[in-house]
Chains A and B, each alone.
Chain A
Amino acid sequence: MKFRTIARISAIAALAGLAAPASAQQTITWWDFFVGGDGVRMKALIDEFNEEHPDVQIEATSLEWGTPFYTKIRTSSAVGQGPDVMSYHLSRIPLGLDEGVLTPITDADLEAAGLSGDDFFESAFEAAKGPDGTLYAVPFDVHSIVLYYNKSYLEGSRFLDDEGKLTGIESVADFEEAMQTAVDNGSETPLTYATGDDGGVFRVFYTLLSQQGGTLIDDEGQILPGDSTEKAITAIETMTKWQSEGWQPEQALYEASVALFTSGRSAFHMNGVWEVPTMTDLAADGSLGFEWGAVEVPKLMETQTTWADSHAWAIPIQGEEEMDPEKREAVMQIIGWMEEHAIQWADAGHIPAYKPVAESDEFTSMEPNATYSSLAERATYEPRSEVAGVASPAYDAAVNIISPAIHGYMSPEEAVEQTKAELQRRMQ
């Protein structure tokens, strides 16, 4: 009897405890994978939001990027212990749908956030949809790889224009000539990217493939259909040549590949826009030691395009439950606010996916972002497939098969065959 009374009282107390703050204030659990330079900027945005909105408070946690993040989302949201809002890669949406963790973003949701579909770059907004056209995420940025360059190695050559900007690279041959010029001017390894890491290899490979109009995986799930196989071989052959000529570093991991450029040893660096703050900061305190620039990856093959992905906001399922509509509204309010303040995020090198910010004077005068922001319209997103996207089998294949191939452990033909077989196997 006594036990039951105590239980009843504590249950009421617990309910009251839960209910009381809910009416006064919404606490939104937020998970993201931003650490490092990105993380600092995101934290500033969250703090600013919390200060401006006493009635909606974000409780943010940053988790480890990649498979660990997405596994945690998968397991926690299935039992209703996940976040209320989370960062998500658009390239990851196919697998997210397969796992059933994403809730559709309705028109009413968008309205609550004060947003509409036309506000976004089309390629990003399309990539945020499922195969049936339902929206599952709100794109926040477009991020891609860009070509960083060190002006000191190119001075006096035809590759710098009167204003000291990179010019005259319109084919692989031009680019190779530029690299040779840099070598002649004393650059040990003229081009650096993470040749021994999954991301670095995949992004360059995918860019070269897309520039030839090749498809990695088509909508029917065919891997490198038709002449895309040939194009993939060409892409790997190109990368292999850069390796065997000694133009790019052997087995460079991510940090080493960045260090080669920032220490002034490489003339070119292909890496994500997220390293822009590193360069800006180093240049600002005078420790960079050279003048740098960053441009959209030039048209090396037939078309001008680059690999791209987006960070986006998504709302996971809450186990068996539905999210309280008031809470959902608060979440959408946060998303809307973040989009409008994306200019602070652009400071981390990214291009805002939200056009009103991307087209604002503040952004178009922001350098070097404004120089390469043209890529947003022409970007090629990753294939809509569970085996592609961040930390996916496609990335594994890049480090496991393509990277060894460019280091001469197997021929480009063999590498493409193996990549095809590997992705096919993982698709089952």
Chain B
Amino acid sequence: MAMIRNKSRHRLVAISLILPFVAIFALVFAYPVVEVVRMSFTDAPLIGDGDWVGLANYRRLLTDSLFYTSLVNNGYFVLLTVIPTTIIALMIALAVSRMSGRMQALALVLFFTPYVLPVSVVTQIWSWMLDFQFGVLQPVIEFFTGKPVPVFKNPFWVMPTVAVVTIWWTNGFNVLLFLAGLRNISEELYEAARLDGATRRQLFFQVTWPLLWPVTALVLTLQLILQLKIFDQIYLLSEGGPFNSSYVLLLMVYREAFQLNNGGYAAAISLVLFLLIVVISVLQFQILRIGGKNK
């Protein structure tokens, strides 16, 4: 008897503990998601109901050339950021982990500070530094290219520049993750390897790299999700231009919903983006896990 009572009591406690979360989750996530799905089949404006139009929004999306442009730009941006930022973070983490005491703390603060800044501050700093007429970085660009470049107005420069800004901004967090991963690797393993005569190269590739792989996979996945959702920096730095060469899916959602009052179409685009992120990140994580097991 006592056991049964305990069990039901246990369940009651469990339910009461998760209920607040479930309620909030249902209210601010599950319900809006269902609404977005429903809305994507209607011609609803930003606020209020619309008529059921079936798959019309999706059909329109498939014939919308801007959708493909944005898709390609999203892909290009992922290429420019995900792997580079992971490599850079790993290198910084390796360097920082060799320091000790105050120096290490100082280095960490320096690398982490940009991450603390809000996006509007980050973009403001960089648009000043890269300003075509007055930017302090223009002489540097001039040194390499022979003339100043209006980076956010040039179709070839715009995406790589936004990528550089993004990496500068978000890299500190990845460094932290890698550093935590490095600290988890037992010193004994290195000692044993050294006793067996392993070179530094071998130490990294045979000990550090495989043991760090779970963290690397995590960083890669988090970055992929984050960078597919690129919006703020584009909106603040280039507004999708010049001639749509930095137009991305979320900017399309924003413009359709808030500028043109096409709630239904915007919902369809955001749903496609959502599915895209889910599929790609699950795929990537699985591939990375298999890759990790083979090592």
Assess whether B153 is in contact with A251, with CB atoms less than 8 Å apart. Answer: yes
Which one of A249, A253, A386, A428 lies within 8 Å of B60 (CB-CB)?
A428
Inside 8 A of B197's CB, which chain A residues have their CB? none
Shortest Cβ distance from residue B246 to the other chain A in the assembled complex, whole angstroms: 10
Shortest Cβ distance from residue B237 to the other chain A in the assembled complex, whole angstroms: 12
Assess whether A78 is in contact with B64, with CB atoms less than 8 Å apart. Answer: no
Inside 8 A of B46's CB, which chain A residues have their CB? 71, 74-75, 99
Q: Is B36 an interface residue (CB 8 A)?
A: no
B139-163 toward A: CB 8 Å interface, digit per residue (1/0)? Answer: 0000000000010010100000000
A-B contact count (CB 8 A): 76
Q: Is A400 an interface residue (CB 8 A)?
A: yes
> Which of the four size classes fits the interface of chain A?
35 or more
Inside 8 A of A409's CB, which chain B residues have their CB? 155, 242-243
- Greatest chain A CB density within 10 A among B132, B241, B243, B258 is at B243
Q: Is A404 an interface residue (CB 8 A)?
A: yes
Q: In the assembly, what is the distance between CA of A252 and CA of B132, in Å?
A: 8
Q: Is B8 an interface residue (CB 8 A)?
A: no
Assess whether B64 is in contact with A425, with CB atoms less than 8 Å apart. Answer: yes
Q: In the assembly, what is the distance between CA of A95 and CA of B262, in Å?
A: 11
Q: In the assembly, what is the distance between CA of A380 and CA of B167, in Å?
A: 46
Q: Given A74-B47, A251-B150, A392-B259 in contact, is the A404-B241 Cβ separation under 8 Å?
A: yes
Q: Is B20 an interface residue (CB 8 A)?
A: no
Mark out the residues of chain A between 353 and 407 whose CB falls within 8 Å of any chain B CB in the assembled complex. Answer: 386-387, 391-393, 396, 399-401, 403-404, 407
Q: Is B66 an interface residue (CB 8 A)?
A: yes
Q: Is A219 an interface residue (CB 8 A)?
A: no
Q: In the assembly, what is the distance between CA of A426 and CA of B258, in Å?
A: 13
Assess whether B239 is in contact with A95, with CB atoms less than 8 Å apart. Answer: no
Assess whether A425 is in contact with B66, with CB atoms less than 8 Å apart. Answer: yes
Inside 8 A of A425's CB, which chain B residues have their CB? 64-66
Inside 8 A of B155's CB, which chain A residues have their CB? 404, 409
Mark out the residues of chain A between 232 and 279 whose CB falls within 8 Å of any chain B CB in the assembled complex. Answer: 249-253, 256
Assess whether B132 is in contact with A391, with CB atoms less than 8 Å apart. Answer: no
Inside 8 A of A401's CB, which chain B residues have their CB? 242-243
Inside 8 A of B186's CB, which chain A residues have their CB? none
- Greatest chain A CB density within 10 A among B48, B239, B259 is at B259
Name the residue on B nearest A415 (C-beta): B243
Name the residue on B nearest A249 (C-beta): B133
Assess whether B48 is in contact with A78, with CB atoms less than 8 Å apart. Answer: yes
Assess whether A400 is in contact with B261, with CB atoms less than 8 Å apart. Answer: no
Assess whether B258 is in contact with A250, with CB atoms less than 8 Å apart. Answer: no
- Greatest chain B CB density within 10 A among A78, A249, A251, A401 is at A251
- Greatest chain B CB density within 10 A among A392, A399, A410 is at A399
Assess whether B259 is in contact with A67, with CB atoms less than 8 Å apart. Answer: yes
Assess whether B243 is in contact with A418, with CB atoms less than 8 Å apart. Answer: yes
Assess whether B243 is in contact with A400, with CB atoms less than 8 Å apart. Answer: yes
Q: In the assembly, what is the distance between CA of A392 and CA of B260, in Å?
A: 8
Which one of B60, B64, B150 lies within 8 Å of A196 (CB-CB)?
B150
Shortest Cβ distance from residue B234 to the other chain A in the assembled complex, whole angstroms: 12
Q: Given A99-B45, A252-B133, A425-B64 in contact, is the A71-B258 Cβ separation under 8 Å?
A: yes
Assess whether B153 is in contact with A393, with CB atoms less than 8 Å apart. Answer: no
Q: In the assembly, what is the distance between CA of A52 and CA of B255, in Å?
A: 43
Assess whether A75 is in contact with B47, with CB atoms less than 8 Å apart. Answer: yes
Assess whether A404 is in contact with B133, with CB atoms less than 8 Å apart. Answer: no
Inside 8 A of A391's CB, which chain B residues have their CB? 259
Assess whether B243 is in contact with A393, with CB atoms less than 8 Å apart. Answer: no
Inside 8 A of B240's CB, which chain A residues have their CB? 396, 400
Q: Is A98 an interface residue (CB 8 A)?
A: yes
Mark out the residues of chain A between 32 and 73 whose CB falls within 8 Å of any chain B CB in the assembled complex. Answer: 67, 71
Name the residue on A nearest B258 (C-beta): A71
Inside 8 A of B206's CB, which chain A residues have their CB? none
Which one of A71, A407, A410 lies within 8 Å of B153 (CB-CB)?
A407
Inside 8 A of A396's CB, which chain B residues have their CB? 239-240, 255
Name the residue on A nearest B63 (C-beta): A425
Q: Is B202 an interface residue (CB 8 A)?
A: no
B116-146 toward A: CB 8 Å interface, digit per residue (1/0)? Answer: 0000000000000001111000000000000
Name the residue on B nearest A405 (C-beta): B243
Q: In the assembly, what is the distance between CA of A215 and CA of B88, in Å?
A: 53
Inside 8 A of A426's CB, which chain B residues have their CB? 260
Name the residue on A nearest B155 (C-beta): A409
Q: Is B113 an interface residue (CB 8 A)?
A: no
Assess whether B239 is in contact with A250, with CB atoms less than 8 Å apart. Answer: no
Shortest Cβ distance from residue B63 to the other chain A in the assembled complex, whole angstroms: 10
Q: In the assembly, what is the distance between CA of A249 and CA of B134, in Å?
A: 13
Shortest Cβ distance from residue A94 to the other chain B in the assembled complex, whole angstroms: 11
Inside 8 A of B150's CB, which chain A residues have their CB? 196, 250-251
Q: Is B286 an interface residue (CB 8 A)?
A: no
- Greatest chain A CB density within 10 A among B60, B240, B244, B260 is at B260
- Greatest chain B CB density within 10 A among A253, A400, A421, A428 is at A400
Inside 8 A of B258's CB, which chain A residues have their CB? 67, 71
Q: In the assembly, what is the distance between CA of A404 and CA of B152, in Å?
A: 11
Mark out the residues of chain B between 242 and 284 whose CB falls within 8 Å of any chain A CB in the assembled complex. Answer: 242-244, 255, 258-261
Assess whether B64 is in contact with A404, with CB atoms less than 8 Å apart. Answer: no
Inside 8 A of B134's CB, which chain A residues have their CB? 256
Inside 8 A of B261's CB, which chain A residues have their CB? 74, 95, 98-99, 386
Q: In the assembly, what is the distance between CA of A391 and CA of B47, in Å?
A: 20
Mark out the residues of chain B between 47 and 76 whose CB falls within 8 Å of any chain A CB in the assembled complex. Answer: 47-48, 60, 64-66
Assess whether B260 is in contact with A251, with CB atoms less than 8 Å apart. Answer: no
Inside 8 A of B241's CB, which chain A residues have their CB? 399-400, 403-404
Chain A residues with CB under 8 Å of chain B are 67, 71, 74-75, 78-79, 95, 98-99, 196, 249-253, 256, 386-387, 391-393, 396, 399-401, 403-404, 407, 409-410, 418, 421, 425-426, 428
- 6 closest A-B pairs by beta carbon, nearest first, are A251-B150, A404-B242, A400-B241, A78-B47, A71-B258, A251-B153
Provide 23 A-B residue pairs closer than 8 Å at the C-beta atoms, listed in order of the A residue.
A67-B258, A71-B259, A75-B46, A75-B47, A79-B47, A98-B261, A99-B45, A250-B132, A251-B153, A253-B131, A256-B133, A386-B260, A391-B259, A400-B239, A400-B240, A400-B243, A401-B243, A404-B241, A407-B153, A409-B242, A425-B65, A425-B66, A426-B260
Can you add 6 more A-B contacts, CB < 8 Å, to A74-B46, A400-B240?
Answer: A74-B47, A75-B47, A78-B47, A79-B47, A387-B260, A399-B241
